Each structure stands twice: as structure tokens, then as C-alpha cells.
Amino acid sequence: MVQSSALTVEQYLSEVEPARIAAIQRLRDECRARLTGWEERMQWGMPGYGPPGADALISFNSQKGYISVYIGKSTIDDHKALVTGASFGKGCIRYPNPDRIDFDLLGTMLSDAFRAKGGES
């Protein structure tokens, strides 16, 4: 799934390939737990999170060869040395193997990005 036409996150999840669904669901759970007060929505063909009425500021997607997390360049730069088993794009982390995602570190990064983007925890 490169870009989904799903209208809801639940519909998006139903389209994720079985080998990745556990990681995508856990990523969603981390976002919902750490990005408090932000709305979950489908935007740009992927699940995204942002302040009510504003564009998504953090998103994720199941791409052809990896799971990508769009979390922002400054957050990536702050934690890049700790991330293993991933590559980086402009403002995103790309995990080719869902089993190698360090969800503890990713959770910390989500919280840091949330604060940096104006969220309150």
C-alpha cells in the first residue's frame, strides 16, 4: 500500500498486509497514547495526527518496502544515532523490517515531536 484511498483509519488498517499489521497497530496505539488532544485522521492517504482543525503534523504509512513514520527532521536529528535497522528521508524514518522497530525509542521520539510541534503532555 503506497497511498491508501481509505476514508477512516479503521478502513486503512483493514488494508494493511498481514506481515505488518501488528507493527502498524502498535504504532497507532503509540500515537494515540502520546499525541493526546490531537485528532486522528486520514490525510494524504495515510493516518495522521494533528491539532483539531489543522493539518496532520505526524503521520505513518505502510509503503511498498517499509513502514514510514513522518515525525519531523529536528526530532530525527535529535535521535538519529540511537535508531537502528532503519533509513531516513526528509523528515521520516523508514523501517524495512517491522520486527526491528524499537517502539520504546519511537515512543520517546513521538513525545518529543509532539512537544516540539506545540502539543502539551
pLDDT tens sequence across 47-58: 999 999 999 999
Q: How many CB atoms lie within 10 A of CB 74?
A: 13
In the structure, what pLDDT confidence band is assigned to residue 4 with cuts at 50, 70 and 90? confident
Contact 106, 30 (CB under 8 A): yes
How many CA atoms within 13 Å lie on the side-chain side of 98? 19
Could you report the per-residue pLDDT of 77-91, keeping only the tens digit for each?
999 999 999 999 989
Domains and CATH numbers, the chain: 9-116 (3.90.1150.200)
The one-letter amino acid code at 82 reads: L
Does 10 have pLDDT greater than 60? yes
Q: Which pLDDT score is estimated for 66?
A: 95
Name the more confident of 21 and 118.
21
DSSP bridge pairs for 39: 50
Give the DSSP H or E segment for 92.
strand 92-95
Does 119 have pLDDT greater than 90? no
Q: Which pLDDT score is estimated for 2?
A: 61
Could you report the per-residue pLDDT of 94-116, keeping only the tens digit for each?
999 999 999 999 999 999 999 99
